[in-house]
Amino acid sequence: MAIIGLLMAAAAAAFTADVAYESTGRLYFGAFNRNFSMATGWAAIVAVLIGVGGTLGLGLLFAGMRRARRRHAVVAEHQRTAAELEDDRRRLAAELDRERAARLRAEQTAPAGDPRSQGQVSAPARSSFDQMPSGERTDA
């Protein structure tokens, strides 16, 4: 595909050079409240340069639009992830509140000789992670 594009660009350049070389007439036109005169060959070269500039401008415009669309997609994905994390946080907070309420009810309804009724609750069981020497942990 790139080779075809290169061949087309070379053919267009050769055609423009031939038109500029072979054209001997003059072109008269008015723009911006002024009158201009130039050889038709130079007018062809100017037209090609304007076309190249327009093509580059459109290419930059479309590239910017693609970049903005990609950026918008990334932001939307991050917002979805943030919403999922917020839902998880709320769910875990509600679960913690339920566990605390259950523990409080258990302490209040415990028999008189039970250590839970006197606020002497035993420490929770330690996980294998808590029992590792601190040098083997990877949490820091």
The overall average pLDDT reported for the chain is 78
**pLDDT in the model for residue 126:** 55
Q: Is residue 8 part of a domain?
A: no
Residue 138 has pLDDT above 80, yes or no: no
Domain annotation covers residue 9:
no
Q: Which has the closest alpha carbon to 46: 60, 31, 59?
A: 31
Domain limits at 82?
14-108
In the predicted structure, residue 140 carries a pLDDT above the cut 50: no
In a domain, 45, yes or no: yes
Specify the range with the lowest mean pLDDT, choosing from 32-36, 80-84, 101-105: 32-36
Is residue 115 included in any domain, yes or no? no
User: How many domains does the chain divide into?
Assistant: 1
Specify if 43 maps to a domain.
yes
127 in a structural domain: no
Residue pLDDT, tens place only, 46-69: 888 888 888 888 888 888 899 989
For 116-137, write each residue's pLDDT tens digit.
555 555 555 555 555 555 555 5
pLDDT at residue 84 in the model: 94
134 in a structural domain: no
Q: How far apart are CA 6 and CA 59, in angstroms?
A: 17
Residue 50 lies in a domain: yes
